[in-house]
Structure 1
Amino acid sequence: MALSASTGRRSPVSHRVRAELRSRIERGVWTAGMALPSEAALCREFGTSRGPIRRALAALRADGFIVGGRGKPPVVGKVVPAQSLATFRSFTDWAKAEGKTPGTRVLSLERRHAASATAGLLELDEGAYVVELIRVRLLDEVPIMIERASFVPEVGRLLLGLDLEHASVSAELARHGCALTRARHTIDAVAANPLDGEALGIHSGVPLLRERRLSRDSAGRAIEYAEARYRSEFATFRVDNSTADPVAADRGTTAASPIEVRSLI
């Protein structure tokens, strides 16, 4: 039974029920489409009343782990890993935190002229060179995303010659004092082009979730611009926010506060 580290009090029963049921779903003990035990059965298992069970089920339903309700028995939903935009961490770290095995397949790594828009975002002169990395990211050996990343020359050259299917880009940059510390993300939807389709094993034209990212170092210098295209059935993005200003909340406005976001490297 879980205890609060600060007070020593037991955590609410509904929290413990929710955590256990979620664990069963994430570990594949309960698979998508499987009916959950009845409320009565869960009450017996956890030695509690219907109130905590219903609160736990409501929380799991809100998170997408179960579906059904309004008279329909709950069943396990299709769980899509959610990537939080409230933390700054690598694709590898995120995958491991989700209990998945990350993988990388490099399609190309080369020095080339930057597209006009990319040069502008990276604060480079028109026609400047960048180092472009195109790679496919995998979860449990399933390709879920193709990423095209352009690095300013003095940063990108650090990657040339590395085995990027096994080496960590973020770790290599940090080792040379070029750690990515903050980024701005733009998320929208696009149709898969032929390269996307071949790399991800889908048909051209299939909708993909696109994340465009401009990353900076601790000095505020733009050093990487990337576009990641996800198979939407395998990834979602999550933003958790709140107001820190009670006065602003009373006015119906939210206090502005910076959010650092993760980088998929």
Structure 2
Amino acid sequence: MRKLIDPNKEVALYIQLKDVFIQRIQNGEWGADKLIPTEQALMKEFDVSRTTIRQAISLLVQEGLLEKKQGRGTIVKPRKLIGNLGQLKGFAEEVLEKGQTPRSQFIRAEFKTDLHHERSMLNVEENEPILLVERIRFADDVPVALERTCWPQSIGNILMEFDLNEARYYEILEKYNVYLNRASEKISAINATIQEADLLGIRAGEALLEMTRLSLGVNGEPIEYTKTKYRNDQYHYSIELKR
């Protein structure tokens, strides 16, 4: 790899190194949220001084590609997902649009009769079971969000016929002529509990972005009630305002 930089070039060595590091990030050799090689290893590989290595790394930290973690080292900073408040999309759709790979880790799926708030939001009868599905959502193997979704029994019966871990729920429902037409969302900032922090790989008390969504069908009937808690370093919302 020494040949990737040339001390005879007019371009400074740390700038050449920076370009090599960027290439490794872009091609996935240095994965998101993973530690990059130590300064000592990079010095040996490229036969340059520690100062040169640190200058290259410092530039990439400034540009938001790398991040120094106290007690760990330097990691590749994951790309933030950007949710558009004006569009009704699922998590997997948003991740794929950003060129990343979505994945889920299943926590549980069960019909419940004691979810009183959810029953009210979904406008279902007193004793009607509600399907509760909980998953951890990943982008490029980085945990991004905790998702808790509730569905009326009629919808839940359809979904339970499929693998709920990796399923794209909206696509399944559309095959059964169930279409989401619009949704209302509420967004708030909360702090991660010990359990939430453990599942998301962060420290307890760190800020989370909590999004609550009620999705309606073409006739205005409630179809889905979801509460998703996003890592603030992995996700932010964008909205276009007009006057």
The number of residue pairs the alignment matches comes to 177
Q: Which residue of 2 aligns with 1:119?
A: 119
The DSSP-based 3-state class of the residue aligned with 1:157 is helix
Q: Mean Cα displacement is larger for which, 108-117 or 190-199?
A: 190-199
What's the Cα RMSD here? 2.5
| Matches of 1:99 and 1:240, distance apart in 2 | 22
Q: Deviations 1:19-53 (Å, cap 9, x if unpaired)?
A: xxxxx89x749x9xxxxxxxxxxxxxxxxxxxxxx
Distance 1:161 1:194, change over 3 A: farther
Counterpart of 2:144 in structure 1 is 144
Scaled by the length of structure 2, the TM-score of the pair is 0.66
For residues 194 and 176 of structure 1, the distance between their equivalents in structure 2, rounded to whole angstroms, comes to: 39
Residue pair 1:86, 1:239 contacting (<8 A) in 2 also? yes
Task: Give how far 1:181 is off.
Answer: 2.0
Q: Which amino acid aligns with 1:195?
A: Q
Distance between the aligned counterparts of 2:238 and 2:93, measured in 1? 16
2:154 alignment partner in structure 1: 154
In the TM superposition, residue 126 of structure 1 has moved relative to its aligned partner by 3.6
Q: Is contact 1:120-1:126 (8 Å) kept? A: no
Q: What letter matches 1:108 in structure 2? A: R
Q: 1:194 to 1:177 in 2, by over 3 A?
A: farther
After TM superposition, give the deviation of residue 180 of structure 1 in Å: 1.7
Q: In the alignment, residue 97 of structure 2 is paired with which amino acid? A: A
Matches within 5 A, 1:87-236: 87-236=87-236
Secondary structure at the aligned position of 2:165 is classed as: coil
Paired position in structure 2 for 1:35 = none
2: distance between equivalents of 1:150 and 1:127? Answer: 15
**Which ranges in structure 2 are unaligned for 5 or more consecutive residues?**
1-21, 31-61, 66-78
Partner of 2:64: 77
Residue 119 of structure 1 and its aligned partner are, at CA, apart by 1.2
Structure 1: runs of 5+ lacking an equivalent: 1-23, 32-74, 244-265
Write the letter of the residue equivalent to 1:96: L
- Say which structure, 1 or 2, has more relative contact order (CA 8 Å, 6+ apart): 1
Q: Compute the displacement of 1:127 (Å).
A: 4.7
1:208 to partner: Cα distance: 0.8
Normalization by structure 1: what TM-score?
0.61
% same residue: 25
Q: Distance in 2 between matches of 1:237 and 1:127?
A: 37
3-state SS in 1 of match to 2:158: coil
Letter of the 2:63 counterpart = V
CA distance in structure 1 between the partners assigned to 2:229 and 2:174 by the alignment: 25
Three-state SS of the structure 1 residue aligned to 2:135 is strand
Structure 1 or 2: larger strand share?
Answer: 2
